[in-house]
């Protein structure tokens, strides 16, 4: 059967029904085209010989009705299965639509104003911050991903210093205490209370609280005595002693204050220096931490900087050991052009200033101070007289400047 013959047959049946004629009379009353179609479909039904009764009373086009329903309502009451069938036959296409309702809100305005994102000093000074409108912070925003990161040059050199000390057998001292008393920062180091370094022009003093807790009384009395009247082979400074100056709190001017405290703990440990059980044991200690000094800043000076502190206590060591250690220490960093200059320190004798040549500044730059601790400092702690202690304080910033060719310390 060719495509479309079934539909033509249905139309023919409807024609028979309406004209109320039999198929037998179709040969004389029907058109020629109907005769031809009747001959083609004569074998479809055996009951067509004598019957005049139609097969169906009417023809219902279900697809057409469904299409009309979709056009009117946008859907079918028959459900998703009928819609899927129409989509499959490509008779309908499903589209998704959005509708919005817009109305004026409480902040509706016809003018455009820029929202403030930061609170500036000018806004605080003029008072405009009171009437400004600020943009809300989006705390859920992930932000711009960083491209990468690197250690600060100071941290690189600091870690290098630390590794050199550990490689040479040093132990690290605890130096997290930025605030010290005048006793531990100056008095225990045999710095006179009338020294210019203790003035307000050179030291940051704490106003609240202004005084520290008292140190161990026996040690405090020995230190004050060696200052005022002398002792341990020294005549002292023969100057008045002030308990108030000794108890003042300040931002430490050097980490040597911690070195003095650690030496005192070494001398007074149970079964140690003053006992018969263990006796004296040599120590090598270091620290790298911040210190504070009230001075003007320039290309080589800062009010806050890092000090590399080291202490070696043993019997029979000399100033030559200190110079040899400094040369070995800096050679491991690649700095070999050093000079040592005699100097004065209240708590070391002899004393040396350490200089290194800066290729960018074309001059020698002081990078540290060193010396052998005086007996007036060590013996009041309780250390034996034949024990010597070497101490040095090196700058972290200046060797970093030489290493990276930086001419201004403030850029660090």
Q: In this predicted model, what pLDDT tens digit does every residue of 5-38 receive, in sequence order?
A: 444 544 555 554 455 444 444 444 445 444 444 4
What per-residue confidence (pLDDT) applies to 54?
A: 67
pLDDT digits (tens, 9 = 90+) for 184-214: 999 999 999 888 888 877 889 999 898 899 8
Say what the pLDDT of residue 273 is: 42
Work out the widest C-alpha separation in the chain, in whole angstroms. 157
> Is the pTM of the predicted complex or chain greater than 0.75?
no
Q: If pLDDT is split at 50, 70 and 90, which confidence band does 271 have?
A: low
44 has a pLDDT exceeding 70: no
- Please list the residues that pair with 185 across neighbouring strands: none
Residue with tokens 């004389």, as numbered in its chain: 28
Name, in order, each residue with C-beta under 8 angstroms of 146's C-beta and a sequence gap of 6 or more.
none
The pLDDT score that the predictor gives to residue 151 is: 86
DSSP SS3 for 351: strand
For residue 278, the model assigns a pLDDT of: 52
pLDDT at 272: 47
Residue listed under structure tokens 């059967």:
1
- How would DSSP label each residue in 134-145? BPPP-TT---PP
Average pLDDT over residues 223-232: 90
| The token pair that represents 105 in the structure block | 């809100």
Residue 131 has pLDDT above 90, yes or no: no
Instruction: Measure CA of the first residue to CA of the last residue in the chain; give whole Å.
Output: 96
**Cβ within 8 Å of residue 315, ≥6 positions away:** 280, 282, 386, 387, 388
Task: Enter the tokens of residue 118.
Answer: 């930061």
Work out the pLDDT band at 51, boundaries 50, 70, 90. low
**Closest to 289 measured CA to CA, from 334, 267, 262, 259:** 259
Which SS3 state, helix, strand or coil, does residue 70 take? Answer: helix
* Mean pLDDT for the stretch of residues 212-226: 92
**pLDDT (tens digit per residue) in 373-399:** 999 999 999 888 889 999 988 888 888
Strands 283-292 and 171-172, how do they pair?
A: parallel
Q: Which two tokens stand for residue 298?
A: 């320039």
d(CA 176, CA 1): 102
């Amino acid at each position: 059967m060719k495509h479309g013959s079934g539909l033509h047959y249905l139309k023919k049946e409807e024609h028979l029904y309406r004209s109320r004629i039999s198929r037998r009379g179709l040969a004389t009353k029907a058109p020629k085209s109907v005769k031809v179609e009747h001959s083609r479909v004569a074998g479809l039904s055996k009951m067509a010989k004598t019957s005049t009764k139609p097969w169906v009373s009417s023809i219902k086009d279900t697809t057409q009705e469904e299409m009309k329903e979709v056009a009117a309502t946008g859907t079918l009451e028959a459900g998703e299965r009928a819609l899927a069938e129409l989509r499959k036959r490509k008779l309908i296409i499903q589209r998704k639509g959005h509708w919005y309702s817009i109305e004026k809100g409480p902040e509706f305005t016809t003018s455009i104003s820029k929202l403030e994102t930061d609170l500036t000093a000018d806004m605080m000074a003029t008072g405009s911050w009171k009437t400004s409108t600020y943009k809300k912070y989006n705390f859920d925003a992930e932000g711009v991903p960083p491209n990468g990161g690197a250690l600060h040059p100071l941290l690189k050199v600091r870690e290098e210093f630390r590794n050199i000390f550990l490689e040479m057998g040093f132990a690290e001292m605890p130096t997290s205490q930025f605030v010290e008393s005048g006793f531990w920062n100056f008095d225990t180091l045999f710095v006179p209370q009338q020294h210019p370094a203790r003035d307000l022009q050179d030291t940051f003093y704490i106003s609240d609280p202004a005084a520290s807790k008292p140190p161990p009384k026996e040690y405090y009395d020995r230190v004050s005595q060696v200052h005022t009247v002398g002792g341990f082979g020294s005549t002292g400074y023969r100057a008045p002693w002030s308990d108030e100056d000794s108890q003042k709190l300040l931002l430490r001017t050097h980490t040597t204050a911690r070195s003095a405290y650690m030496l005192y703990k070494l001398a007074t440990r149970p079964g140690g220096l003053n006992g018969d059980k263990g006796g004296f044991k040599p120590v090598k200690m270091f620290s790298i931490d911040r210190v504070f000094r009230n001075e003007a800043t320039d290309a080589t000076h800062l009010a806050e900087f890092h000090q590399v502190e080291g202490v070696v206590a043993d019997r029979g060591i000399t100033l030559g050991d200190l110079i040899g250690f400094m040369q070995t220490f800096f050679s491991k960093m690649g700095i070999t052009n050093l000079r040592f200059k005699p100097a004065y320190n209240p708590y070391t004798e002899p004393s040396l200033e350490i200089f290194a040549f800066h290729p960018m500044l074309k001059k020698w730059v002081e990078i540290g101070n060193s010396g052998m601790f005086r007996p007036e400092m060590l013996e009041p702690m309780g250390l034996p007289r034949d024990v010597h202690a070497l101490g040095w304080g090196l700058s972290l910033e200046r060797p970093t400047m030489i290493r990276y060719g930086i001419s201004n310390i403030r850029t660090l």
